Amino acid sequence: MRTDQAEEPAPLFHHPDRNLALELVRATEAAAIRAVPWIGKGDKNAADKAAVDAMRAFLATVDFDGVIVIGEGEKDEAPMLFNGERVGSGRGPSCDIAVDPIDGTSLTAAGRSHALSVLAVSDRGTMLDASSVFYMDKIVTGPEGYGVIDIERPIGDNIRALAAALGKDVDEMRVAVLDRPRHEQLIADIRAAGAGTRLILDGDVAGGINAARRGTRIDMCVGVGGSPEGITTACAVKALGGFMQGRLAPKDDAERERGLAAGLDIDAVLSIEDMVRGDNTFFVATGVTDGALVNGVKREGPIIRTESVVLRSKSGTLRRIEAEHLVEKWLDPEYL
């Protein structure tokens, strides 16, 4: 044993750990609770602002050194949580962060189901920054999709291949798709293959998670949605052991050039490992309104109830957290 030099103490933190994940739930809970007064009020911007302000305030109390890679906007569009913003106390693990204080602002404003408050975390430098290209074509399935699904193949071929891998008839297959004009042909092709669709009004993160989970009514989630939501979904799907591919979908030549200038391979098929590297990702979500993944915020007399999920890739776990909050605390606008 060498004795001629002192051993350097091991750093206290290297990576995000499970305790950090449980701390981050407080931020999604806060965002969801603060959005409640705006549910069904038709003002998605007000709902989003309330959630952003609450999430930022709680993140500031968490002991970690976070950099937002997937954010809500640019710095000059405050109060959005912008790309490149540093969050946390600055002490603790160094992390990449993806935030979506409300995934489904239109759902919240309309009082519809499936709105979530979402955070995803990975080790520093592991999360793809695709912010220069807003849209991404995505396909998500459970683990049966590995070696079976290819985003470059026709959707009918993918549906038939996955059905065979699942041991199901094609007419039993259910495919989630954002209900958008750009997907008219995709929806027609899914139905022509003999499968059924589950049309998503807004917020495709939950659709992707339910496609990757066992025991849900969704076998596959496909279509073009936000690239920020795609990276966030990848963190969750990795924790579930699911399959995911993506391909950036610039809306015009100018956006394509911005993506190329940012170093993105616009035409590449992105694996889940391309979207978030390593095996230490977390995904945290709290229900704003009721959905298939979690229940929304409910007030019962002096109590506010929230339901959240925490997914961790290192352990391959999905934990549900039900919390009760005293209304009197949240009636104080300074309580954060």
Annotated binding site for substrate: 103-105, 135, 180-182, 202-204, 226
CA angle 222, 141, 161 (to 5 degrees): 90
Interacting residues of 272 by C-beta distance below 8 A, sequence separation 6+ = 234, 237, 238, 242, 243, 244, 245
CA dist 102 and 52 (Å) reads 8
In order of 37, 65, 103, 109, 288, the CA distances from 298 in angstroms are 11, 32, 18, 16, 9
Annotated binding site for Mn(2+): 48, 72, 100, 103, 229
Q: Is the dihedral of CA 152, 269, 313, 278 positive or negative?
A: positive
H runs (alpha helix) in 193-226 = 205-212
Q: What is the Cα–Cα distance from 195 to 204, expressed in whole angstroms? A: 19
Up-side HSE of residue 117: CA atoms within 13 Å toward CB? Answer: 32
Binding-site sequence positions: 48, 72, 100, 103-105, 135, 180-182, 202-204, 226, 229
DSSP state of 64: S
Pairwise CA distance, residues 267 & 136, whole Å: 11
